[in-house]
Chain A
Amino acid sequence: MKCKRCRRAEAAVDLPSHHSAFCPDCFFVFFQRQVKEGIRRFRLLSPSDRVLVCVSGGKDSLVLWDVLMTLGYETEGLYIDLGIEGYSERSKEKVLAYAAARGKSPIVVDLAKEGIPIPEASRCARMEECSVCGTVKRYFFNRVAAEGKFTVVATGHNLDDEAARLLGNLLHWHRDHLSRQHPFLPDAGEGLVRKVKPLWRVSELETASYGFLKGIDYITEECPMSEDATSLVYKEALSLIEDQMPGTRTVFYQGFLDPENPLRKGPEERYWRSAGAVEEGEAAEGAGDPRACASCGAPTYADVCSFCRLRERVRQRRERRAGGAS
């Protein structure tokens, strides 16, 4: 199969959803254009931004960092060591090696040192690991961004992630979540920094292909905590449809983002606009203006932020255990 763009070189990536196939060089052009268009459509980034890129060692976040650097943005990487035995060490190695090869030194947050490694926090709080992980990550995204004077936080969520999340929200009619699902969450002030998802137009297959062809050494093993993640069920369902009807996933998600979509209008849309950078995990805690957490001073919509409440539960459980053991 020949490249559909240059019509000379042999194709390396075939994309039925775009009725196209590209050689490596033309695929790089295609991919970067997709990301640029994604940024332009919702004004996710401006040239003056200082971008904090959240990197996990997986393909999406490392590819995001790579593309943003290629496009000329001022970036720093943030790696959060989740404290998952084996997996965290291996993913951290990938991030550090990637960064070192490009003369970068990422900011590293070690959750074990912070007293809240995900596996233990999940057990102590009796919450699902992915839910705990989301709360903790959001807290550090905001904190590190505020401390480092970053203007925006970028994450590697791609089209498949967002379409799967949309399907889940629709199947359960999570209207409040639907109204806040967007590649752009504006700065809400008080330390709640703008959050963006510049890869919202590209699929997992495209980011994996880009990473492979660019020689980015990412971690291919899956987080052991996410084996039972419901998002995988939604992804499976969508890939079944995508195989039979290429391009459906794109139509599904891009149609949702259409400003004329009734699901994005009405009271929820107004709420989304006023609530600014509120995300799903913080959404249930109330609307209005953010205020300082009574415990740590971080921005929150409750009296004490969800991170501090979680940390307190972990501390109490540890104390009970220590008391029981003595």
Chain B
Amino acid sequence: MRWMIRVRIPQKKKELEIPGPRRVMDILAQAGVRPTTVIVTQGKKLLTKDHRVEDGETIDVISVVSGG
């Protein structure tokens, strides 16, 4: 079985697996998420949109948009 990048989008209760290596901005495009609406984290690290994510790694996509 091939290792993939695990992408967790907790606010949408969604999880994706995407083949790597891939830049954060490309992962977001594939997940249909606009880059200015989220921060992308890996553990305690905040990732820039050009950061390259490798197979087997997990990232979290956190929405920053609040309503009301």
Contacts and interface: CB of A to CB of B under 8 A. Distances in A.
Contacts of A21: 48
A204 B68 CA distance: 14
A205 B39 contact: yes
A12 interface: yes
Contacts of A208: 39, 62, 64
A226 B67 contact: yes
Interface string B38-68: 1101000111111100000000001111111
Interface in A186-242: 203-205, 207-209, 212-213, 220-223, 225-227, 229, 231-232, 235, 239-240, 242
Nearest to A230: B67
A76 interface: no
Given A1-B50, A220-B11, A221-B11, A229 B34 contact: no
Contacts of B45: 12
Interface residues of B, number: 23
Interface string A69-110: 000000000000000000000000000000000000000000
A225 B68 contact: yes
B10 interface: yes
A18 B37 CA distance: 16
B11 A213 contact: no
Interface residues of A, number: 38
B34 A60 contact: no
A239 B50 contact: no
Interface string B12-56: 000000000000000000000011111101000111111100000
A130 B46 contact: no
Nearest to A240: B34
A278 interface: no
Residue from B36, B49, B63, B65 with most neighbouring chain A CB atoms (10 Å):
B36
Nearest to B68: A226
A313 to B, nearest CB: 21
Given A209-B39, A239-B34, A243-B34, A204 B66 contact: yes
A83 to B, nearest CB: 15
A166 interface: no
A237 to B, nearest CB: 11
Contact of A243 (B36, B39, B63, B68): B36
Interface of B: 10-11, 34-39, 41, 45-51, 62-68
Given A58-B66, A160-B65, A204-B65, 11 more contacts: A1-B51, A13-B48, A130-B68, A205-B36, A205-B39, A207-B64, A222-B67, A226-B66, A227-B67, A232-B67, A243-B36
